[in-house]
A = this chain, B = another copy of it.
Amino acid sequence: MTTSDQKQGNVHFIRHDSEVLKGNPLGDKHVREVIVYTPPGYEETGEAYPSIYCLTGFTGRGKMLLNDNAFTPNLAERMDRLIGSGQIKPMIAVMPDCFTYYGGSQYINSAATGNYEDYLIDEIVPFVDAHFRTTADRESRAVMGKSSGGYGSLVLGMRNYDIFGLVCSTAGDCYFEHCYPMDFAKAYRVIKGDPRAFMKKFWASEKMGKDDFPALNTIGMSSCYSPNAESPWVDYLPFDLETGEIRVDVWQRWLEHDPVRLVEKSVDNLKSLKLLYLDAGTRDEFALDVGARILSKKLRDFGIDHIHEEFDDGHMNISYRYNRSLELISERVSAAQI
A130 to chain B: which residues have CB within 8 Å?
A: none
Are B177 and A181 touching (Cβ within 8 A)?
Answer: yes
Contact (Cβ within 8 A) A177 B246: yes
CB–CB A244/B67 < 8 A: no
A264-301 interface bits toward B, Cβ cutoff 8 Å, 1 = contact, 0 = none: 00000000000000000010000101100110010000
Say whether B70 contacts A67, CB under 8 Å.
Answer: no
Docked Cα-Cα span, A178 to B246, in Å, equals 9
Instruction: Tell me the bound Cα distance from A59 to B320 in angstroms.
Output: 19
Q: Which residues of B contact A177 (CB under 8 A)?
A: 181, 246
A233 within 8 A of B: no
Binding-face segment, A131-139, A153-161, A183-191: A183-191
Copy total for this chain: 4
Q: Does A256 contact B (CB under 8 A)?
A: no
A337 within 8 Å of B by Cβ? no
Contact check, B290 vs A188: say whether CB atoms are below 8 A apart: yes
A321 → B minimal CB distance (Å): 9
Q: Is the CB of A290 within 8 A of B207?
A: no
**Residue A182 CB within 8 A of the other chain:** yes
- Say whether A208 faces chain B, with CB atoms less than 8 Å apart: yes
Q: Which residues of B contact A1 (CB under 8 A)?
A: 26, 28-29, 99-101
B178 touches A243 (CB 8 A): no
A206 adjacent to chain B (CB < 8 Å):
yes
Does chain B have a CB within 8 A of A66? yes
- Interface of chain A: mostly helix, strand, loop or mixed: loop
CB neighbours of A208 from chain B (8 A): 71
In the bound complex, CA of A294 to CA of B294 (Å): 32
Kindly state whether residue A69 has any CB partner on chain B within 8 Å. yes
Quick one: given A1-B100, A29-B3, A100-B1, are A294 and B182 in contact (CB under 8 Å)? no
> Which B-chain residue is minimally distant from A323 (CB atoms)?
B206
Whether the Cβ atoms of B59 and A70 lie closer than 8 Å is yes
Please pick, from B100, B186, B313, the residue contacting A207 in the complex, using a CB distance under 8 A: B313
CB proximity to B under 8 Å, residues A61-86: 61, 63-64, 66-72
Query: Closest B-chain residue to A26, C-beta based?
Result: B1
Contacts A2-B27, A69-B64 hold; do A185 and B178 have CB atoms under 8 A apart?
yes
Which chain B positions have C-beta within 8 A of A68?
A: 61, 63-64, 66-67
Task: Confirm or deny: A317 has a beta carbon within 8 angstroms of a beta carbon on chain B.
Answer: yes
A67: which B residues are within 8 A, CB to CB?
Answer: 64, 67-68
Q: Is A245 an interface residue, CB under 8 A from the partner?
A: yes
Nearest B residue (CB) for A282: B189
**Which residues of A182-211 are within 8 A (CB) of B?**
182, 184-186, 188-189, 206-208
Query: What are some 8 contacts across the A-B interface (CB < 8 A)?
Result: A2-B27, A61-B68, A64-B67, A71-B208, A181-B182, A243-B293, A243-B294, A244-B293
Identify the 10 closest CB pairs spanning chains A and B, nearest first.
A185-B287, A206-B320, A67-B67, A63-B68, A182-B182, A244-B290, A3-B29, A178-B185, A185-B290, A1-B101
Q: A61-B68, A72-B207, A189-B290 are in contact. List 14 more A-B contacts (CB 8 A).
A: A1-B100, A2-B29, A3-B27, A59-B71, A64-B68, A66-B68, A70-B99, A70-B103, A71-B208, A177-B181, A189-B282, A207-B313, A207-B317, A244-B290
